[in-house]
Chains A and B, each alone.
Chain A
Amino acid sequence: MASSLENLESQLELFAENVRQIHIIVSDFQPQSQNVLNQKLQALVHGLQEVDKLKSQVQDVHVPLEVFDYIDQGRNPQLYTKDCIEKALAKNEQVKGKIDSFRKFKANMLLELSKTFPNELNKYRALRGDE
């Protein structure tokens, strides 16, 4: 998959370079540049054909739509990855905190219940087994 993405990337880079060269030709056009321009335009169409051929190789690549919002705002898409990782880490810490709090609560509750209801708690511990 990495090679197919690299192929697509290099094809797109060639396409963008072709477009840039067309822009240079057109920005100050000379009659003798007409043939070169025609060649570049055919190369443009060929580039689109090549990109179209590569689409089958990257069909398994799923891109989250939120990344498109970052790109549309002119922002670095790596910031999306960074934001995702940071959010996941924050959520992980939050859930771990909850689990640890509930564990402490359970331990305290068992302790207090064993002081108040020792017989019942013995029955409970016998039912639950190793807990």
Chain B
Amino acid sequence: MMMGDQFRKVEQYSPKSSPRGARSPVVSRQDSSGTLKTTILLGKNPSIVPSGPFYLLKEPPGESDLTGATNLMAYYGLEHSYSKFSGKKLKEQLSSFLPSLPGVIDSPGQQDNSSLRSVIDKPPIGGKDILPLTSVQLDGFRLHPGPLPEQYRYANQAPIKKHKNKHKKHKHKEGGPPSQETPVSEVGPDTHEKKHKKQKRHDDDKERKKRKKEKKRKKQKHSPEHTGGGMTPSQHGSN
């Protein structure tokens, strides 16, 4: 559109009728910042002549009230928000933001397939009206009396992740840190050291086994009888 307008204007200002002779017409531009001041000469030897005393002198950009040098927090009235968020120490957990929400919400959403990202990536099929349940549909919710099976009972609570420690101990048992291993080639005075280190390792293993047994006994005391198929609860009697 701009180009079309300029062409039309050029036709009005043809070189034959132009008051400026063979020189290009003066076309006012809205924003001339960053443009080079040049003059286009038409005629036998058309050329572009930079005008002004300095080569490649461009027009400076327009002055703006709002630049990066302005304190944007003050400009947009966010100082109170900034002091509010930076002053007090915000807790990391989601449960501190939603304290009244029941259940465990601090665990990652991917674990129990309850992530918001999955809702965005795979939105549920909607468009249908939400209707109350009919009597036939409600019959499907007839439950058997009694407590929930073990595997569903503590669904609200996070399972204890103790396998990390077990792996660490297991690794420690098998290989041991390389610095403690004595080289096979050393014989004589080092055999005494070897025996001493072996005894130490033996003692350490015994202690670890004792600690494990004590922990198991404590678990059995506090937890209900488990069949061996479900999660071990960390708390009891919460509901």
Query: A residues touching B (Cβ–Cβ < 8 Å)?
Result: 13, 16, 19-20, 23-24, 26-31, 34, 37-38, 41-42, 45-46, 48-49, 52, 65, 68-69, 71-79, 81-82, 85-86, 88-89, 91-92, 95-96, 98-100, 120, 123-124, 127-128, 131
Contacts and interface: CB of A to CB of B under 8 A. Distances in A.
B132 A45 contact: yes
Given A29-B144, A86-B86, A89-B82, 17 more contacts: A16-B102, A20-B102, A27-B148, A27-B153, A28-B148, A34-B143, A41-B133, A46-B132, A72-B108, A74-B106, A75-B94, A76-B97, A78-B85, A85-B86, A91-B68, A99-B68, A123-B53
B113 to A, nearest CB: 11
A45 B156 contact: no
A contact patch SS: helix
A71 B131 contact: no
9 contacts: A16-B100, A38-B138, A41-B138, A72-B115, A74-B106, A82-B86, A85-B81, A85-B82, A96-B68
Interface residues on B, range: 35 or more
Contacts of A75: 92-94
In the A-B complex, list the 6 residue pairs whose CB atoms are closest, starting with the nearest: A95-B68, A72-B109, A68-B116, A82-B85, A74-B106, A72-B115
Interface stretch (B40-48, B70-78, B179-187, B188-196): B70-78
Contacts, number: 127
B143 A29 contact: yes
Interface of chain B, main secondary structure: loop
B69 A99 contact: yes
